[in-house]
Structure 1
Amino acid sequence: MTDRYQAFTKNPIGKMLVKNLGLPNPTPLERWQGGSSLVNGTVALGGKARLSDAVANALAGLGISTDLAATAEGRYKGLVFDATGLTESADLLALQQFFTPLLRSLDRCARVVVLGTPPELLSGAERVAQRALEGFTRSLGKEIGRGATVQLVYVAPGAEASVTSTLAFLLSPKSAYVSGQVVRIGVTGTQEAPSVDWQQPLAGKIAIVTGASRGIGEQIARVLHRDGATILGIDVPQAASELQSVMKELGGDSLTLDITHADAPQRIAHHVAENHGGVDIVVHNAGITRDKKLANMAEDRWSSVIAVNLTAPERITRALLDAGAINANGRIVGVASIAGIAGNVGQTNYAASKAGVIGFVDSLAEELTDGITINAVAPGFIITQMTAAVPFATREVGQRLNAMSQGGLPVDVAETIAWYASPASTAVNGNVVRVCGQMMLGA
């Protein structure tokens, strides 16, 4: 699907109207291509505190060029600031002193990452200062423009060596439609992040993707396969032909069933054990909508959405865990939605199910063992065949109400899931990251 408004802004008449009327002028986003370097340019490093050495080492290992003596005369593809040394509110001035001189030196589609310490682990003035970083990064994300993104990464003490996979994602074009987000990296306890081939980080891994025959699910399968995984695609019998076609192209395996059936979790666990000996990545992507205002909603509309979007992922995950089918350092990923955070008119059932996915992550994150993690993505307006059917005016508003003034693509959701799925992301657990271009509504 194409963004007709974005194309319009690039022709002579469109350019004139954008300039004279102050209309949104979305910047075409850079997205990663296989075989490319992670960062095409130099990243300036600022702040000298707890994470400085770990960040410098991580970027060097990723082959990313860095500058420790950044000047306004340079050109930068990224800025990384270690704010862990800010221990009281007066120290926040360091943010202005580092960023203000450099922001005009950023290239198009640049990346900004601020690193801090989780406020909940602190007290007093230091807790105040670290919590202030959220307001700073969210606001900067809404004003930076030109396709750039801004993120805050809270790194727990003791997790310094676990920042590499998150920096690789957030500084690269893989995070094109992710901005204004807060990521938490914790202490893993039992699993150290292994070194990986950054071109094929999922080599040798088995990944389940539900709803894999089309749309976002198909793109998730393609990106995980690109990164080296063998895909087990799952979809309803009505989509069997499409599913088998995609899996044949990817050299994967397919299983057709209705995930809401009583025996579906056991069938999936049995198939995994018999055919693959276990699974490393489980992506709960399958989902449906049955929109109506609550006053007009029938019980079957409510129940079907909850069953597919929330109850099935809970039951499938529990069956796989109980069967020991998820391998050590495995990954569970839920697909939530911005609707589950901000709500939508006519979507009480859908929003409840997607908020429930977030609750599922919160509930399970501390229960998991053997280095298994659970996280979720929360897509905003993603351009798919489904959104193409939305009335034109509604679709246009939906695409413009974010800091990037455009809709995202299925690959943007898939890239975020691939970051979670990486064996090197073992310290990324219990996160919900919005893939929404930083929507203006909903935190």
Structure 2
Amino acid sequence: MSDRYQGFASTPIGRLLVKNLGLPNPTALERWSEGSPLVDGVVVLGGEGRLAEVLPTTLDGLGIASTTALADDVRAKALVLDATGITDTTGLVALQEFFTPLMRRLDTCPRVVVLGTPPETLTGGERVAQRALEGFTRSMGKEIGRGGTVQLVYVAPAADGAIASTLAFLLSPKSAYVSGQVVRIGAHGATTTDPVADWTRPLAGKVALVTGASRGIGEEIARVLHRDGATVVGVDVPQAASELQTLMGELDGDHLVLDITAKDAPQRIAHHLREHHGGVDVVVHNAGITRDRRLANMAADRWSSVVAVNLTAPELITRELLDAGVVHAGGRIIGVASIAGIAGNVGQTNYATSKAGVIGLVDSLRDELGDGITVNAVAPGFIITQMTAAVPFATREVGQRLNAMAQGGLPVDVAETIAWFASAGSGAVNGNVVRVCGQMMLGA
């Protein structure tokens, strides 16, 4: 599906109207394609914190060029500031001193990452200063324009060596529709991660389960995980069996046709994974439905069906896979929540309840899991799919423009975020909920 307004705004008459009427002017976002470098340009590094020494080596290992001084005739593709050295509020001036001279020297679709220390691990003035970074990055994300993104990554002191996969994602076009986010590394559980032999195939040899895999976002998740080297096991309902089988055949994967809300579904999934694949490494709870109505008109079956598919089934399946030992050590459990579960939405009390519950599932498991298993979730905003194409035009246009990028995202944006969580190099990325929403103006 395409964004017709964005296409019109790029035409000669569209550009004229956008300029004269002050209409939104969304930049065409750069997205990663196989064979491309992670960063097509130079990354400028700044700051004098504890990560300053490891950053150049880490980026070099990813094939990313970096410098501390930008040449006069060069534009920056990305900026990374190590703010872990800011220990009091007077030190926050380092943000202005580093970024202000470089803001007009950014390339199109630039990336900005600020690295800090989790405030909850600190006390006194240092805790105050590190918490202040959130206001800075969220505001900068709404100023940067030109398709740019801004993120804050809190790195626990023991996790300094576990930042590569997160930088590879946040500095590359893979994070095209992720902005204004706060990511924690090493805050829950492991502070180290497995080495990645090949960053182009970080899931080589892994088995990935994807529910709701036959179409839409689920199909794109399956494709991206397969691209990254995983053997994908797709799950979907009998009505989608033909599409599921065709897709899994194309991806040289496996499929399981069942209703995830069936009483025996968790046991059947666990049995299939154990018997046919020896277990599973990545579990993606993508299957979801909507049954929208205002609460005053909400029938019981509309409520219960949404909660059953979107929340109860993922919870029960996860518990069965863990209790039965089907999830391998170093496994990844990934939920698909929604911006509706954070900000709410008119006519979606059932859906928002279920998606907030997915966030609750992350919170409940993040400190409970052992063996290097992690749990995280994505929270998509307005993603352009066949389903959103059916939304009335005016509602759809408003939904697409109410974010810092003035456009909707694509299914691949959700899939790339999930692939980052799933990566073998993301062992210290645990307990996060990352919005894939172009930094919506509401629900921040």
Normalising by structure 2, report the TM-score.
0.99
Q: Distance in 2 between matches of 1:335 and 1:272?
A: 21
Q: Distance in 1 between matches of 2:190 and 2:33?
A: 34
Structure 1 residue aligned with 2:293: 292
Q: Deviations over 1:250-287 (max 9, x none)?
A: 00000000000100000000000000001000000000
The correspondence of residues 171-250 of structure 1 with structure 2, limited to 5 A, is 171-186=171-186, 188-189=189-190, 192-250=193-251
Q: Distance in 1 between matches of 2:341 and 2:191?
A: 32
In the TM superposition, residue 193 of structure 1 has moved relative to its aligned partner by 2.6
Structure 2 residue aligned with 1:124: 124
Structure 1 residue aligned with 2:371: 370
| Structure 2 gaps, min length 5 | none
Structure 2 residue aligned with 1:302: 303
Q: Which amino acid aligns with 1:419?
A: W
Q: 1:191, 1:371 within 8 Å by CA — same for their partners in 2?
A: no
Q: 1:266, 1:319 within 8 Å by CA — same for their partners in 2?
A: yes
The correspondence of residues 14-33 of structure 1 with structure 2, limited to 5 A, is 14-33=14-33
SS at match of 1:425: coil
Q: Distance in 1 between matches of 2:198 and 2:298?
A: 50
Q: Distance in 2 between matches of 1:70 and 1:128?
A: 31
Q: Which amino acid aligns with 1:93?
A: V
Structure 1 residue aligned with 2:13: 13
The correspondence of residues 308-347 of structure 1 with structure 2, limited to 5 A, is 308-347=309-348
SS at match of 2:293: coil
Q: 2:31, 2:173 within 8 Å by CA — same for their partners in 1?
A: yes
Structure 1 residue aligned with 2:55: 55
Structure 2 residue aligned with 1:84: 84
Structure 1 residue aligned with 2:265: 264
In the TM superposition, residue 68 of structure 1 has moved relative to its aligned partner by 1.3
Structure 2 residue aligned with 1:414: 415
Distance 1:10 1:190, change over 3 A: closer
SS at match of 1:280: strand
In the TM superposition, residue 396 of structure 1 has moved relative to its aligned partner by 0.3
Normalising by structure 1, report the TM-score.
0.99
2:97 is equivalent to residue 97 of structure 1? yes
In the TM superposition, residue 56 of structure 1 has moved relative to its aligned partner by 1.5
In the TM superposition, residue 71 of structure 1 has moved relative to its aligned partner by 5.7
In the TM superposition, residue 12 of structure 1 has moved relative to its aligned partner by 1.4
Q: 1:206, 1:230 within 8 Å by CA — same for their partners in 2?
A: yes
Q: Distance in 2 between matches of 1:16 and 1:232?
A: 49
Q: 1:26, 1:405 within 8 Å by CA — same for their partners in 2?
A: yes
Divergent runs of 4+, >6 A: none
2:277 is equivalent to residue 276 of structure 1? yes
In the TM superposition, residue 13 of structure 1 has moved relative to its aligned partner by 1.2
Q: Distance in 2 between matches of 1:354 and 1:225?
A: 26
Question: What CA RMSD, in Å, does the superposition of the two structures yield over aligned residues?
Answer: 1.0
Q: Which amino acid aligns with 2:113?
A: V
Q: Which amino acid aligns with 2:410?
A: L
Q: Distance in 1 between matches of 2:85 and 2:358?
A: 35
Q: Distance in 2 between matches of 1:309 and 1:329?
A: 25
Q: Deviations over 1:160-184 (max 9, x none)?
A: 0000000000000000000000000
Q: Distance in 1 between matches of 2:242 and 2:328?
A: 30
Q: Distance in 2 between matches of 1:402 and 1:71?
A: 33
Q: Distance in 1 between matches of 2:147 and 2:421?
A: 23
SS at match of 1:305: helix
| Structure 1 gaps, min length 5 | none
Q: Distance in 2 between matches of 1:16 and 1:196?
A: 50
